[in-house]
Structure 1
């Protein structure tokens, strides 16, 4: 994204061209040819890029996307807005008066903070992202300041809370070394000695989380989006799983963990619960088991079994219809006998590649079914289940 071309988009002429780009042909060559009749090529490219990014951004930003501005990598790295709103709500509940977003990107979290009524400032090393974030605050009629600055040398004392989302990509792509983050883990550790929130990858090892810091894993409609580290007065527990869905938001913490639950054998007519990924990442599967009055299918596997039917935001629920043969040849015969053609395969604790197994089974029936391949009492089992 060229800085001058983006600034031109914010002019009256640029806004008119952007509106035309939004209505132009979906064929990029046709659209470019149409718009270039009375606009410079670099302006046309900027307008068409924004129109395309806005369409893509609807998955993350919903109704806000058509009014916002993006860069390709900024959109990819931006927090899903439902998750950003949850984070802002936590800061609001903690009576946070001001927050500085260290590495604000295109301003996704910044607009959530400002929208929650928190005095907000954002910084970033990239002038284009700073310009885009500033434009997004203006487009949504939100207060806040954005400037080009280096987070590692900024005086943070004027701000009640510091928020950081370290870049986890280098010249060679995504990096898994925390010292290759920008800013690096050593800087993150200094942030976590004060009231801060740091967004990190969901795969962060538990042992990396400093003592006294809360680690929260967040999923949105069943997909784990991030982990966040909360420090100082913002830390209220050690581990938390937060799930966002159509029914709102629900949370589990390590304080919900019971005494260790036992292993429960699967039985036809019983129920199997598949914990949400955030629950698994947070190590809170046993809290789900306690909540449904059940146990684990295996002490090392994240499936829960119970005799009782529950609807819980922390797991997908299935009724166990029957146990089918675990070996491939008799399993094929059993599924064909039931007229199954479309098969969903879930697995945990077994070395099976679902797509490859589905091809080898070569089912052709009209019916649809779901099977769970796992271990119970040290043996492989195949459970025919149905969602409820």
Structure 2
């Protein structure tokens, strides 16, 4: 969104049109939507800006629920915004640390700041991009205890705050540019804006600090003090948050939080940031368990295997097997139907004999493209199943399974 689009949106007339056409299905009838807005008096730029916001609001309901119906968004801001369930967890970490006044540095569209304000904190949200700061101002307008400042994180006077939250943007290859969604591997603390050294350094003077990072951050970039916590929601890995100062729990260096169906579950490692020792490799049982991606990224696979009373199926392969059915909020479980050699011709015959026409293919430890492999199997039938292509010991196998 550019400044002109924002100016077109931030008028009494445009806000009224956003409310009036809130249920407009622009995806299904774009031409009708444009016609309706033009008849209501919106010019071309305003119509486009309103239709874009209506599209964003529909997409945002998965993260923000009904709150999305009054918010404004940018495309990048929506993609990178913290969902409310996770933002509430951030707020609770500050509450448990006794924090009262939080600086949200690099606040984006204000998702975390909104939650902090709703929980009763005094919040100052700082954003360096002018348009994004204006959108955050709109989103935080209902909260008298929240203020938005247009400025740089590094230039903010932190002396008035006992809590700081940061969501550093990842720098792109273009000098000076940043992109919160950048996926390339970054290996230098200065690859973020503000830098990780600045972010982690905010914890001085006994200040509580939370730093939201991408879940794929290299472990070697994490600070020696504090707590790193990988968070998944409904089995989707969403972040690695680093907690420092009073917000870091004593003795916990690494943890995993799984949020499913409104409930939170946690597994943690005390006193050490080292990877969990893998469980012993053993023979295939009757069940396979796929660890939550947060467990895999935090390298807690061995700890989970021991919790389940299971064993690994091969070195460095993130599958756990047990003889008995067990359940865990940190794993998806599959009942093993049959095990085959990983051979395309054999699998094609076996799947066709079972009438399997819908096949979920999971691959780990073998070089197979699931989409291409599915085409080569020429599936036919009404039945469905899961095919797990992996290694058991040093053997390449295909395991026909059913989800628990």
1:66 aligned onto 2:69: yes
The Cα of 1:21 is off from its aligned counterpart by: 3.5
2:228 is matched with which residue: 188, 200, 215? 215
Q: Map 1:282-361 onto structure 2 (within 5 A).
A: 282-361=298-377
With 203-212 and 230-239 compared, the bigger mean Cα shift is at 230-239
From 183, 186, 200, the equivalent of 2:197 is 186
Asked if the contact 2:362/2:387 (under 8 Å) is kept, the reply is yes
**Shift in alpha-carbon separation, 1:259–1:4, aligned structure 2, 3 A:** closer
CA apart distance, 1:41? 3.4
Paired residue secondary structure (1:356):
helix
| C-alpha distance in structure 2 between counterparts of 1:5 and 1:359, whole Å | 45
Name 2:211's counterpart in structure 1.
Answer: 198
Q: Corresponding residue for 2:45?
A: 42
Q: RMSD of the TM alignment (CA)?
A: 2.3
Of 192-201 and 172-181, the range deviating more from structure 2: 172-181
2:98 paired residue number? 95
Taking the aligned partners of 2:191 and 2:370, their CA distance within structure 1 comes to 35
| Offset of residue 322 of structure 1 | 2.1
Give the Cα separation in 1 of the matches to 2:270 and 2:110.
34
Does 2:239 correspond to 1:226?
A: yes
- Give distance in 2, aligned partners of 1:58 and 1:252: 29
How far residue 44 of structure 1 moved from its aligned partner, in angstroms, is 2.8
Alpha-carbon contact 2:200-2:244 (below 8 Å) kept: no
In structure 2, C-alpha distance between the alignment counterparts of 1:260 and 1:36, rounded to whole Å: 63
Distance 1:121 1:328 in 2: 59
1:258 is displaced (CA, Å) by 7.7
1:79 and 1:108 in contact (8 A); partners too? yes
Gaps spanning 5+ residues in structure 1: where? none
Which aligned pairs between 1:148-167 and structure 2 lie closer than 5 A? 148-167=150-169
Aligned counterparts, 1:231-310, within 5 A: 231-236=244-249, 237-255=252-270, 261-267=279-285, 270-310=286-326
Matched, 1:377 2:379: no
Rounded to whole Å, the distance in 1 between the matches of 2:316 and 2:32 is 56
d(CA) in 1 for partners of 2:394, 2:269? 28
Cα deviation for residue 10 of structure 1 reads 4.7
Quick one: distance in 1 between partners of 2:387 and 2:25? 44
Q: Return the offset for 1:94.
A: 2.1
16-25 vs 154-163, which moves further: 16-25
Q: Report the Cα distance in structure 2 between the residues aligned to 1:31 and 1:340, rounded to whole angstroms.
A: 43
Worse-superposed segment, 353-362 or 190-199: 190-199
The residue aligned with 1:131 is 134
Give SS of 2:145's match: coil
Q: Number of aligned pairs?
A: 385
Residues 243-252 or 35-44, more deviating: 35-44
Residue 127 of structure 1 deviates from its aligned partner by 2.0
Structure 2-normalised TM-score?
A: 0.88
Instruction: Show structure 2 runs of 5+ residues with no match.
Output: none
Q: State the Cα distance separating 1:122 from its structure 2 match.
A: 0.3
Q: Distance in 1 between matches of 2:284 and 2:139?
A: 52
The answer on 1:13 being equivalent to 2:10 is: no
